[in-house]
Structure 1
């Protein structure tokens, strides 16, 4: 089997992309697949330690890989990737990330790639996260942070994904604000307006509980395993 992949993006930072990526990895592993994980750009970690998102992805995956391929660009300060790179005297290059992805894909059946921040977060003076997704050519899983304003954010993101002519793998709603008004109505509006399947809606979880609940709510359609291969 040639490797397939999924690109996990979000309506914003802090909406649960890593939690969803980990859930996807476990669901794919449960089908007997060799699953590699990738966080092309990570910002925010203590000196000498891994970024916590990268660590979670590594723990979930069942394909051993060079850390430099799993996380080609790592920056200590938790700021926008292009700013972190500028401060470090580095330019984030899409071709470097694409080459790392190809090495992971050669060893795996599926590669789950988690973006940084939201869909249009800049990576350098010219490219952003959407350009990276387009370069990899992967079906997109959109994580919607369920809070006030999520309808606008989700629909604008979906519109931009469609403009890139990338395939949809589905979307996930994640309650990040327990006080959000009219939660049921907002989710219903998303179901009616977003393309692709709803893979799950996660109720609000305190951070310490999130990691133990990732397998309880995600639905992985059979066809997700057989989505477009990379060329």
Structure 2
């Protein structure tokens, strides 16, 4: 189970629709400089994580990048002639920022929430989500929706911040709480947005707990592997080819 969100910004004890509205406001506020902030906060390492993340995905079929924002992950998957790539995100501002880029490949852009995906049952060959599931209102409901839209044998892959190893944690915590909000104030002019993002990382389940949630959602072949000593983690699972299979 996920821990309750810190109440710094009033997300605790509010209706789900109101929480969704506030989170969407966070991303709308930083859309124009989101990619720049990712580079600065991670010293560019997030790009290496994402390249590794998409390395083993199917080469054809419909691939949905959920919470795909500006399309940086989807762009890494472009170029395979058999793939149809759809970026699905609740923030229109984020998708507009991505689609306006001069290097944007032929991607499809679609507004949608993780808890109510705008895809038919069994219609998606693979679904990826990078640093987005922690912003859902109901994580278990989002996993159930992902399972619903995937075709039998379809692949789920999630790249998300997680729990670093014990020796790294004090330095990581200090950087997260002291440096990242200040970078957000300086570059994106939105310190409160980046304070929220730091808090959202802390409430997301750790590696083992999230793997268990993926299993409970009906996925088989559930695996996870750390990147950068557990600062982030890649989780994968597959929808069974036959109902009830593990």
- TM-score, normalised to structure 1, is 0.42
Larger Rg: 1 or 2?
2
Larger relative contact order, structure 1 or 2 (CA cutoff 8 Å, min sep 6): 1
More helix by share: 2
